[in-house]
Copies of this chain bind each other. A is one copy, B any other.
Amino acid sequence: MKEYFISKSRRLRSTSYTSRIEEQGVTAYTIYNHMLLPTRFGGPLEELYHHLKEHVQVWDAAGQRQVEVNGKDSYKLVQLMTCRDLSKAKVGRCYYAPIIDDKAKLINDPVILKLSDQRWWISLSDSDVELFAKGLAIGNNFDVNIFEAKIDIFSVQGPKSFDLMAKVLGPKIRELKFFGFDYYEFGGSKHLIARSGWSKQGGYEVYMEHTEAGLALYDKLFEAGVEFNVKPGAPNLIERLESSLLSYGNDMDIGDNPLECGFDKYVNLESEVNFLGKEVLKKVKSEGVKKKLMGVKIDSKKINVTGSINMYDKNNKLIGELRSGSFNPMFKQVIGIAMVNKPYFKDTQEFQISIDGNNCTGKVCDLPFI
């Protein structure tokens, strides 16, 4: 596989950590919300995968931007955009909440943080939700302020992240529950820290607001983390697929609705709250979805998915498309995420797929993989 360089410019924004991760050996980037997001540090991805599952990593995750919505109508606007019922949302909690349009098409799958009754952060996957929110607010004449907050997240992930964070920030941080957040002091500033992150290996996300104190904390984690074998890292394709963490733009996009993506428990049609696409989703639900995101296992030792790859049944009928995939060391084969058409989205379905010109066989499976 030939590799290509990325042409940097101001438009592909650097983060507060870019100069640091470049000293620490980053070798590749993707672009996320118009920002540099690291993907590799030297050696093979599999090395970082094993390391992530055993030790602790610090990730530059600033590409996960925050849209702040505050003001009198902030709840009304946030609720209008998501099919998840947030009427009982609590301050200090994170909510995974699909954002959809009036046709119930998926626009983003952020984590939403309730900072106060009139202040929310929408912590984004890769699309300009700020513009959607602004359009809705202007059109509805809502009394809100909407802007991208100056927050550069770094993520501390891996089983030893708890020990590392407790060593640096004190034992109280161990009490933070999953998807809870609170403020912790370091270097004379309070930092909003959530127990969350885009791996299933445990950890925290630091919502860095104060650059100087935040960078001191970033550096301190590497200094104090030597005994925990800390390394710089990045969201890991192998781990996120194994853990069935979906990626907007890769696994699902504006052509899909949340029921097709298996977000059923975040689609609160029985609630009384008002959100876009509610009637559309009621209809979809009663008729049943026509395609569905499923896991797949493929008899291959490698794959490089850079676009949709068609899947065919034994009669050469198109049954769906593979959207993400990687070799998985635990399953010893390729696993991936595919959008599979009705009626083929069952866990006994076999298929054929062409990988770099080679025909491979595969099988559809339910998510999560483990």
A residues sitting closer than 8 Å to B (CB atoms) are 2-14, 22, 26-31, 34, 39-40, 101-102, 107, 126-129, 131-141, 148, 247-250, 254, 276, 304-308, 323-324
Contact = CB atoms under 8 A, between A and B. Distances in A.
Contacts of A306: 8-10, 12, 14
Contacts of A107: 131
Contact of A4 (B10, B29, B126, B137): B29
Contact of A132 (B40, B134, B247, B308): B134
B134 A10 contact: no
B128 A139 contact: no
Closest 9 CB pairs of A and B: A139-B139, A135-B135, A11-B249, A128-B128, A131-B132, A7-B39, A31-B31, A135-B136, A5-B28
Contacts of A28: 4-7
Contacts of A10: 249-250, 305-308, 323-324
Contacts of A250: 9-11
Contacts of A135: 131-139
B139 A102 contact: no
A108 B247 CA distance: 26
Contacts of A248: 11
Nearest to A102: B138
12 contacts: A3-B6, A4-B28, A7-B29, A7-B30, A7-B39, A8-B304, A10-B307, A107-B131, A133-B135, A135-B137, A135-B138, A135-B139
Given A101-B134, A139-B138, A139-B139, A30 B9 contact: yes
A29 B13 contact: no
Nearest to A14: B307
A312 B137 CA distance: 39
Contact of A305 (B9, B26, B127): B9
Contacts of A132: 128, 131-132, 134-135
B5 A126 contact: no
Nearest to A277: B138
Given A135-B139, A136-B139, 15 more contacts: A3-B6, A4-B6, A4-B8, A5-B5, A5-B28, A5-B40, A6-B28, A7-B28, A7-B39, A9-B249, A10-B307, A10-B324, A128-B132, A132-B134, A139-B141
Contacts of A13: 307
Contacts of A11: 30, 126, 247-250
Nearest to A11: B249
Contacts of A27: 4-5
A276 B141 CA distance: 12
A31 B4 contact: no
A170 to B, nearest CB: 35
Contacts of A7: 28-30, 39-40
Point out which of A127, A306, A308 has the most chain B C-beta atoms below 10 A from its C-beta. Answer: A306
